[in-house]
Amino acid sequence: MFQLSLLRQFARLSIYSASIVNARTICTTSVVQFKMTEPLCAEPMKKKKKMDPAIIRAREERRRKKLEKQIRRLQKNERQLKPIDEIEVPLNLLDEIGKRKRPTVSHSAEVLEARALLQKEWTRYKRNEYINNVAQVDRIMAAQRRALEKLYEESEELYDEAVMPDLSLIPFTINGPVATPPIKNYESPDGDYIDVSKKWEN
Amino acid sequence: MVFNRLIFSEFHLCQRIFSRGLKLKPAWDITTGICVERLPVVTPPLNDIQKKYKELLYTIEIENSLKSDHEIRKDNDIIQAKQLKESIDVDYDTVSKITAQDFEDSSAEELGKFQFADIITEADKKGIKNTVDRCLQKHLVLVTSLKFGSDMKQVLPQGLWKEGETLRQTAERVLAQHCGPDLKVQFLSNAPCGFHKYKYPAEIDGKIGAKVFFYYANYRSGKVSEQVKHTWLTRSELEDALPIRYNKSVQQFLIEENI
């Protein structure tokens, strides 16, 4: 009785109202809201069916055989990987390699010198090109930064809108440039489409 | 170093906010200019050093390569022809009827028959400048003539910003109004890529000039409407057509061409 009245006093403090508290709980300290599931009582044992031991053995045997078969199959295919045609050198090429070799050419010192010079000149050319490209990107970026700064001076709202990413650009695709211009109204000749990709089955 | 940069940017920001605070109503018109560029359709021609180096790479590659099936066939043909001449008994069934040389000839003939499109287009020959179908190897920029006060000037399509729209929307609207709905372009950013300002000869509605924010777009398809006087110009032609200061601002954000 005393406890109940005390509980009622603290009822507002606890998360659950005291009425939920299991009637079985008896405690002398404040209520902790741990709950236990009801214990399951035992039920009578089922009567075991009597089976022919021979049938059980046969069943076991069958199961083991099935498993063994699977293991064997897995072991057989263990190191067999799907071949990649592009990487494997065709056998007929390996056979004919002697026939396919070109006569080795020995260049005169002048030709070698000219080649080395051209290589050096090319390297210098590419370096200049690279420096130009970087400078160009810098210049274009600086132009944009200046434009944005000027925009900020004009209006902060417009600036905020302008620096938003444009999501419609993703994914971005672009074609060309190509080696020869497209022919207008060109109808490409019909052909057969033959799918030569191999089918691999397990 | 990092601290220094931080301080610097902070200072910069303060300065900007301060200068904004001091200024009264903007006395400039805000306008957008749209730079519509047609990218090159065809790769530019190789210059001397590129040609030379390409040739070198080709020869080195051939030197290091193995013979192809076709070359083997050609070699076999020569051997067989020799055997035929010396009338060693040859199994005639194995002698191929079509030699490698025949195949080469027929291929060359087929190639000769095929007509590639000319890089120099009809418009190039006639000197027509108001079509994208010209100077296929170069970048082209759309230039229109606009009325400024009393005189016409060649500039990029340009228009006034209206209250309530973003500059990107202004750019899209101005382009559609100015060049017709047929022209399809793709804008590449919400941000302007360049800036230009000029003063009016006399104040108009209390505005002393205009600030132009350039937007960059790539040409996709369609045509500029016929009523608008327009040209598609290469870099060097831009230099001649645009006003000098304006051209300088425009060239700031364009990719330089050296052909």
Whether B207 contacts chain A with CB within 8 A: no
Question: What are the percentages of helix, strand and coil residues in chain B, rounded to 5?
Answer: 40, 25, 35
Beta pairing partners, B220: none
CA atoms within 13 A on the CB side of B242: 24
- The pLDDT value given to residue A25: 61
Give residue A193's pLDDT band: very low, low, confident or very high (50, 70, 90). Answer: confident
- The pLDDT value given to residue B8: 60
A118, A144, A147: residue with CB nearest B53: A118
Whether A132 contacts chain B with CB within 8 A: yes
B62, B137, B195: residue with CB nearest A146: B195
In chain A, the percentage of residues whose pLDDT exceeds 90 is: 35
- What does the pLDDT profile of chain B (259 residues) look like in tens digits? 555 665 666 656 556 555 555 545 558 889 999 999 999 999 999 999 999 999 999 999 999 999 999 999 888 888 888 888 877 665 665 555 678 888 899 999 999 998 888 888 888 888 888 888 888 999 999 999 888 877 888 889 999 998 888 899 999 999 998 888 889 999 999 999 999 988 888 887 788 889 999 999 999 988 888 888 899 999 989 988 898 999 999 999 998 887 5
A102, A150, A164: residue with CB nearest B190: A164
- The pLDDT value given to residue A195: 85
Give residue A51's pLDDT band: very low, low, confident or very high (50, 70, 90). Answer: confident
Q: Is B32 exposed, middle or buried (0-12, 13-18, 19+ CB in 10 A)?
A: buried
B41, B52, B166: residue with CB nearest A158: B166
Contact B76, B84 (CB under 8 A): no
Size of interface A-B (CB pairs under 8 A): 137
Give residue A31's pLDDT band: very low, low, confident or very high (50, 70, 90). Answer: low
In a domain, A24, yes or no: yes
In a domain, A113, yes or no: no
Whether A177 contacts chain B with CB within 8 A: yes
Alpha carbons B11 and A72: distance in angstroms, whole number: 75
Residue tagged 């065809």 (tokens): B42
**Cα dihedral B29, B248, A175, B258 in deg (nearest 10):** 180
- The pLDDT value given to residue A150: 92
Overall number of domains in chain A? 1
ipTM, 2 dp: 0.78
Mean pLDDT of the region A175-199? 85
CATH of the domain spanning B29-43+121-251 = 3.90.79.10
Whether A153 contacts chain B with CB within 8 A: yes
- The pLDDT value given to residue A159: 92
Alpha carbons B241 and B194: distance in angstroms, whole number: 19
Whether B114 contacts chain A with CB within 8 A: no
Measured between beta carbons, which residues in chain B are less than 8 angstroms from residue A143?
A: 193-195, 252-253
Condensed to tens digits (0 to 9), the pLDDT of residues A66-109 reads 999 999 988 877 777 777 777 888 888 888 888 899 988 888 99
Q: What does pLDDT average to over chain A? A: 83
Domain with CATH 3.90.79.10 in chain B: 29-43+121-251
Whether B191 contacts chain A with CB within 8 A: yes
Give residue A8's pLDDT band: very low, low, confident or very high (50, 70, 90). Answer: low
- How many CB atoms sit inside 10 A of residue A34's CB? 7
- The pLDDT value given to residue B19: 53
Write out chain A in H/E/C secondary structure: CHHHHHHHHHCCCCCCCHHHCCCCCCCCCCCCCCCCCCCCCCCCCCCCCCCCHHHHHHHHHHHHHHHHHHHHHHHHCCCCCCCCCCCCCCHHHHHCHHHHCCCCCCCCHHHHHHHHHHHHHHHHHHHHHHHHHHHHHHHHHHHHHHHHHHHHHHCHHHHHHHCCCCHHHCCCCCCCCECCCCCCCCCCCCCCCCCCCCCCCC
Domain of residue A2, residue span: 1-34
Residue tagged 């069916």 (tokens): A49
- Comparing B71 with A22, which gets the higher pLDDT? B71
In a domain, A192, yes or no: no
Residue of B13, B132, B195 to mutate, testing the A interface (most A Cβ within 10 Å of its Cβ): B195
In a domain, A178, yes or no: no
Nearest CA in chain A to B120: A181
In a domain, A25, yes or no: yes
The amino acid that residue A56 corresponds to is I
Condensed to tens digits (0 to 9), the pLDDT of residues A150-181 reads 999 888 989 998 999 989 888 888 888 999 99
- The pLDDT value given to residue A81: 74
